[in-house]
């Protein structure tokens, strides 16, 4: 059941957005460069150490999709279409909801899935785009060295753009503050392991989505306030304990978690880019900074990697640690990586006796009622 | 006291009256546009059919796609849980349930009358009653005729389009190639079977297999299913009411 004790700090995340846009506008006028990214494999630490600012451009809304479909095939994932549409559709970048798309000087993209890679070729025609390569077999002997080389190129690109030198001191400072944020998020997730977690999945998702927009300092400050507030307010939530596992839920996309929690479920953990993948591991502060960054980021268990047993192991581990009753495997339509990997995740969950419901969907509301039926049946099954 | 289960389906609304744990009557009516109106009509019809007085009505439980709109119900439950309960009551030996309705198809695996796993195809008309309805139209025959015709086919046509709209145009081109009507009919049924058996195989069959929903009334489909799954299908006397029955039982 829902617990309605008001959390002021949750609103602070939302309210910070307009101020953030003004701040970016102002700092851009003062000559600061704005970087757009679309993936967790692009290390924030290097961007901030160059003196640039960054926003995440992953689209979670359906409105920009028709504009994108003038260029992209229809049967490609909605995240790719929405992101591309938001950049090219001038109407969108001039609206209040996503003005940041029009402010970006350079996009740092990455070679994850094929859909994104090819989209970046088109995106480059609108905003200069630098694509980082990724070693897609991260366990290979030379994978780490290769990734470090890509990070060094990124280093050069950013130094050239900003005119600033990225020093080890600056990198270490950024690593330190990014680790602080990661620790705070780990502390928040720790609270969700309780029998009656004080925060719901839909609330947590909106917090993590603000990580895409807010400055790291503001985000961290708000996290501290949230943790403080959760310590004093006796909030309790109950319901079948659900883990979400799968594709990212970019800002604007809260569809499936909302259905799950409206129908009586309680999301206690998300194995997702808007979940554990965003903050789980720390960067080793004792090592040489670029190498330490590379080691941490290469651990992210994205479905574009091969082999990806580490993701399956982590899902089982999280399910146990968070005492999960059932897993909702969430995928975006046409996301081949996560859709194919579903089979092996399902096998592993079956072996561990953890029920699974799989939902493949897009950003439209066309299948809301169908998803509701499945979620109802799944929750009834878990009770 | 009697309990009433109402299954507000996309194509038909079903109601069952349960009296002392026995079916006292049932009603099946077309849903039309308004789920609520259809629910009320099915409620009145099932009362008059079972000869029960409204004052005796205890609780009403609604299931099906339009369940949340049946405002006079005391509670709602998903059709997956409802079918599992209804089939469990009628065919206790069944552990795999295939339900093909007007809008969706689902496969449910049960253990001791409880759902342990399920899969649904509900995003498009492929592999549902709608698929047969539309494509029968392209053959200019009724649904019943489609099932009958299919059984005499010796050489079922290959229908490769899963999509209902494309299958319809595929039927038209097969007609232009002078393919026999019965072969096209058999091909259409095979295509729906193919789609659903893939779902069944994903979950792995646990005998016995029960087949319910409107499409289970089509003998052509039943025969083709038994062949594809190499197992005998258990059919309730009235395959359309297991959801409503389950709802009445779950009160």
The topology (CATH level 3) of A8-166 is: Rossmann fold (3.40.50)
CATH of domain A169-382: 3.40.50.11900
The residue ranges of every structural domain in chain A are: 8-166, 169-382
Across the interface, do B78 and A355 touch by the CB < 8 Å criterion?
no
Across the interface, do A355 and B116 touch by the CB < 8 Å criterion?
yes
pLDDT, average across residues A174-201: 97
Query: What pLDDT, on a 0 to 100 scale, did the predictor assign at position A1?
Result: 42
Q: Please tell me whether residues B56 and B172 are part of one structural domain.
A: no
Q: Please tell me whether residues B130 and B213 are part of one structural domain.
A: yes
Model confidence at A4: pLDDT above 70: no
Higher pLDDT, A76 or B172: A76
Owning domain of residue B119: 95-235
Q: Which residues in chain B are contacts of A377 at CB distance < 8 A?
A: 78-81, 115, 118
Q: Which residues in chain A are contacts of B77 at CB distance < 8 A?
A: 376, 380
Across the interface, do A369 and B65 touch by the CB < 8 Å criterion?
yes
Of A38, A92, A37, A36, the C-alpha closest to A64 is A92
The dihedral built from the CA positions of residue A240, A246, A249 and A255, taken in this order, carries a sign that is negative
Number of domains within chain B: 2
> Which residues of chain B are modeled with pLDDT < 70?
122-123
b (16+ CB within 10 A) / e for B172-190:
eebeeeebbbbbbbbbbbb
Q: What is the DSSP letter of A239?
A: S
Are domains A8-166 and A169-382 of this chain identical in fold? yes
Model confidence at A95: pLDDT above 60: no
CB-nearest to A377 from B65, B118, B123 is: B118
**Six-digit token pair at B174?**
């097969």
Model confidence at A133: pLDDT above 50: yes
pLDDT, average across residues A153-164: 98
CATH number for the domain spanning B11: value is 3.30.420.40
Q: Please tell me whether residues B138 and B221 are part of one structural domain.
A: yes
Query: What pLDDT, on a 0 to 100 scale, did the predictor assign at position B162?
Result: 74
Our CA angle for B186, B188, B192, nearest 5°, is: 115
Neighbours of A110 (CB within 10 A): 23
The answer to whether residue A383 neighbours chain B at the CB level (below 8 Å) is no
The answer to whether residue A377 neighbours chain B at the CB level (below 8 Å) is yes
- The per-residue pLDDT for range A208-251, each reduced to its tens digit, is 999 999 999 999 999 999 999 999 988 999 999 999 999 999 99
Phi, psi (deg, nearest 5) at residue A191? -65, -25
d(CA A127, CA B117): 47
Q: Please tell me whether residues B18 and B137 are part of one structural domain.
A: no
How near does any CA of chain B get to the CA of A31, in Å? Answer: 50
Across the interface, do B65 and A376 touch by the CB < 8 Å criterion?
no
Would you call the peptide bond into B208 cis, given omega within 30 degrees of 0 as the criterion? Answer: yes
How near does any CA of chain A get to the CA of B124, in Å? Answer: 10
Q: Please tell me whether residues B47 and B116 are part of one structural domain.
A: no
- The per-residue pLDDT for range B48-72, each reduced to its tens digit, is 999 999 999 999 999 999 999 999 9
Q: Please tell me whether residues B10 and B110 are part of one structural domain.
A: no
Residue B88, domain member (yes or no): no
Across the interface, do B123 and A370 touch by the CB < 8 Å criterion?
yes
Contacts of B197 (CB under 8 A, 6+ apart): B225, B228, B229
Query: What pLDDT, on a 0 to 100 scale, did the predictor assign at position A98?
Result: 66
Task: Mutation target for A interface from B112, B123, B250: give the one with most A CBs within 10 A.
Answer: B123
Q: Please tell me whether residues B134 and B224 are part of one structural domain.
A: yes
Q: Which residues in chain B are contacts of A370 at CB distance < 8 A?
A: 104, 120, 122-123
B233 within 8 A of B222, measured Cβ to Cβ: yes
Q: Which residues in chain A are contacts of B114 at CB distance < 8 A?
A: 381
How near does any CA of chain B get to the CA of A367, in Å? Answer: 7
Model confidence at A141: pLDDT above 80: yes
- The per-residue pLDDT for range A18-61, each reduced to its tens digit, is 889 899 999 999 999 999 999 999 999 999 999 999 999 999 99
> What residues does B98 pair with on adjacent strands?
B107, B211
**Six-digit token pair at A111?**
């070679």
Query: What pLDDT, on a 0 to 100 scale, did the predictor assign at position A3?
Result: 56
Q: Please tell me whether residues B174 and B228 are part of one structural domain.
A: yes
Query: What pLDDT, on a 0 to 100 scale, did the predictor assign at position B207?
Result: 92
Residue B237 DSSP SS3: coil
Q: Please tell me whether residues B137 and B62 are part of one structural domain.
A: no
Model confidence at A92: pLDDT above 90: no
d(CA A64, CA A68): 7
Across the interface, do A377 and B116 touch by the CB < 8 Å criterion?
no
């Amino acid at each position: 059941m829902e617990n309605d004790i008001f959390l002021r700090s949750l609103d602070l995340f939302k309210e910070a957005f307009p101020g953030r846009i003004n701040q970016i506008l102002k700092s851009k006028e003062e000559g600061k460069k704005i970087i757009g990214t679309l993936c967790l494999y692009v290390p924030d630490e290097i961007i901030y150490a160059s003196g640039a600012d960054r926003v995440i451009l992953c689209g979670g809304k359906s409105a920009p999709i028709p504009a994108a479909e003038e260029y992209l095939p229809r049967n490609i994932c909605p995240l790719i279409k929405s992101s591309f549409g938001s950049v090219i559709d001038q109407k969108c970048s001039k609206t209040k909801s996503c003005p940041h798309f029009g402010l970006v000087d350079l996009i740092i993209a990455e070679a994850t899935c094929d859909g994104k890679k090819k989209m970046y070729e088109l995106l480059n025609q609108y905003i200069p785009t630098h694509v980082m390569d990724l070693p897609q077999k991260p366990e290979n002997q030379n994978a780490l060295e290769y990734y470090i080389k890509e990070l060094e190129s990124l280093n050069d690109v950013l130094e050239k753009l900003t005119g600033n030198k990225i020093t080890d001191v600056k990198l270490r400072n950024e690593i330190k503050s990014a680790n602080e944020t990661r620790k705070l998020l780990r502390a928040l997730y720790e609270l969700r392991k309780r029998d009656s977690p004080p925060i719901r999945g839909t609330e947590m998702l909106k917090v993590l989505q603000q990580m895409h927009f807010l400055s790291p300092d503001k985000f961290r400050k708000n996290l501290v306030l949230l943790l403080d507030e959760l310590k004093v307010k006796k909030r309790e939530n109950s319901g079948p304990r659900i883990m979400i596992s799968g594709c990212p839920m970019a800002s604007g996309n809260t569809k499936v978690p909302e259905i799950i929690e409206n129908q009586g479920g309680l999301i206690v953990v998300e194995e997702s880019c808007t979940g554990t993948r965003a903050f789980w591991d720390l960067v080793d502060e004792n090592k040489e900074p670029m190498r330490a960054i590379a080691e941490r980021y290469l651990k992210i268990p994205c479905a574009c990697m091969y082999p990806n047993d580490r993701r399956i192991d982590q899902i089982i581990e999280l399910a146990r640690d968070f005492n999960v009753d059932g897993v909702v495997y969430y995928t975006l339509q046409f996301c081949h990586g996560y859709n194919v990997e579903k089979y092996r995740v399902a096998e592993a969950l079956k072996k561990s006796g953890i029920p699974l419901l799989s939902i493949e969907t897009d950003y439209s509301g066309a299948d809301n009622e169908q998803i509701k039926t499945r979620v109802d049946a799944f929750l009834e099954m878990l009770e | 006291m009697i309990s009433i289960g109402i299954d507000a389906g996309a194509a038909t609304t079903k109601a069952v009256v349960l009296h002392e744990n026995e079916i006292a009557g049932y009603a099946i009516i077309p849903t039309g546009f308004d789920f609520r109106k259809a629910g009320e009509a099915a409620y009145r019809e099932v009362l008059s059919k079972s000869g029960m007085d409204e004052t005796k009505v205890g609780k009403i439980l609604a299931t099906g796609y339009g369940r949340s709109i049946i405002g006079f119900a005391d509670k709602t439950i998903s059709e997956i849980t409802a079918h599992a309960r209804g089939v469990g009551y009628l065919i206790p030996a069944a552990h795999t349930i295939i339900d093909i309705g007007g809008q969706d198809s689902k496969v449910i695996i049960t253990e001791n009358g409880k759902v342990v796993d399920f899969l649904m195809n509900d995003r498009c008309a492929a592999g549902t009653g709608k698929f047969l309805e539309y494509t029968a139209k392209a053959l200019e025959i009724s649904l019943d005729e489609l099932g009958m015709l299919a059984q005499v086919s010796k050489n079922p046509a290959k229908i490769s389009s899963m999509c209902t709209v494309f299958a319809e145009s595929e039927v038209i081109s097969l007609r232009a190639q002078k393919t026999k009507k019965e072969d096209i009919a058999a091909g259409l049924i095979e295509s729906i079977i193919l789609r659903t058996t893939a779902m069944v195989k994903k979950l792995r069959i646990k005998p016995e297999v029960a087949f319910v929903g409107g499409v289970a009334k089509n003998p052509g489909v039943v025969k083709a299913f038994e062949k594809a799954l190499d197992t005998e299908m258990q059919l309730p006397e009235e395959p359309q009411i297991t959801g409503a029955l389950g709802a009445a039982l779950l009160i």
